[in-house]
Structures are given as structure tokens and as C-alpha cells.
Amino acid sequence: MQLTDKTILITGASDGIGKATAIECAKHGATVILHGKTVPKLEILYDEITNAGYAEPIIYPLDFDKMTPEDCDTLNDVIHKEFGKLDGLFNNAGWLGASSPIEQYDIKLWHRVIQINLNATFMLTQACIPLLNNEANSSVVFTLDEKNTAYWGAYGIAKAGLRSFMEILSDELEATKINVTGLIPGSVRTSFRTRAFPAENPASLITPEEVAQAATLLLSDECHVINDELSHGKIFQLNELLPSH
């Protein structure tokens, strides 16, 4: 699996799955654009990648909570100026908000969770489509989650919307060279998971590095055909990409 000469934007790269995927993509030759809102964490990741001898990444801090279409246009301009194209977009950033019954859910918090998990991803993806629609193959990968039971509130709604967004986008881009897929990683050992399930034994969970292997595959040229079938528009469970799971 080679990502040499590819430029890949990874949202939510400060921690967890995003961080592990940034390292994995860089390991396979990609230049990664590290998105997140916590600059010190991104700087630590930058040092880890460069110290390993991989291609120098780019840090691009952006707060999804406050992001506007104009911010996305600026990001588009920066990527176009630096690289002229984009080979991969990993839509991974997310925020739990709070586990609360709908009847008691704080309305301002609801709007923030929908903004971060769904609206910001839509705006960013829309801005990146012209960069992705280049002569070479490119990929958009969504980290998805299935949370449609009690107390998942705005997070569950946003993730359901994100799945629909991914499916609509894949249908609209079917005739292009942009490959759109989704990944449902399952229960992963992250700080996000710990906040949602504080009593859970982390030793029983999948590691971010394992998820990163699957995400990197979907961001590579090899992702266009998986198990002898075209992958465009498909949603994968982790065990479909890493048979040992």
C-alpha cells in the first residue's frame, strides 16, 4: 500500500483515530494535513511524524464549532496554493456533547453537537470537492457510528445524518474519480469512548492503530476494489477490511 506523492487531509487529527491515521498515512508516504483545534497536540503529532523520518506534515488548526463557509474557502485556497490538488479527505472529527434524554437536552448544546459532527463536515467536504476532483484517483472516507438508542441525543442524530450525507455524496460523485466510502470502527480505545463508557475495560477495545490501518487502506488507490468488488458508496465494518477482527 503506497501513498507516495499523495496529500491527505485528516480532520480530528489531535487524538485517537485521527492521530493514528495521520501517522499511518505518513508512514506509507503521504503528506498529511493535520486538522484539529488544539495546536499543542497537533505540534506533538507533527514532531512525531517528522522525527520518524516521514514527509513533513502541515498543521491546519480550525475549530469546527465556530467554522464558517469562508473558513473552508480559505482552507481550499491554501491547499490549492501548496499542492494544487487533494488526494484524500478523512472526515473523522467528532464530539459527543452529552448523553441526555431528548426531553432534557440543552438546545444550545444540541446545536453545537450538530454543528461539529454534521454541518462542519458538510461545509469542509463541499469546499474540498474541486480539489479532490483531479486527474488522479482520490478518496473521501467518513468515520461513521451507529448510535440510535436512548440518550445518544444530538450525537446519534448527527451520525445518522452523516451516513445519509455520505450515501448521497457517493451517488452524486459516482461518475467522477472520487471514491466515497464509510468506516464503522466499532468500540475503540479512545478518550472519546472513555467519556461515553467510563466503567468499560479499555483492554477489551480495538486500538486506534488498528482502525488507522483500515482507514489508510480506504484512502489508498487499493481501496477502489475490495474483495473483487467496487468499494464506491459502500460502508465497511472494521472486520471487512481487517479479517482478523
Element (H, E) at 8: strand 7-10
Question: What would you measure as the largest C-alpha separation in the chain, in angstroms?
Answer: 52
184's CB contacts (< 8 A; 6+ apart) are: 144, 145, 146, 235, 236, 237, 238
Kind of pairing, strands 88-91 and 235-237? unpaired
Whether 155 is a known active-site residue: answer yes
Name the residue among 14, 95, 219 with its Cα closest to residue 236.
Answer: 219
Q: How many CB atoms lie within 10 A of CB 242?
A: 15
Categorise residue 65: left if φ over 0, alpha if ψ from -120 to 50, beta otherwise.
alpha
The one catalytic residue among 46, 54, 60, 155:
155
The identity of residue 147, as a single letter, is: K
Q: What is the distance between the alpha carbons of residues 142 and 148, in angstroms, rounded to a whole number? A: 18
Categorise residue 186: left if φ over 0, alpha if ψ from -120 to 50, beta otherwise.
left
List, by residue number, the catalytic residues: 155
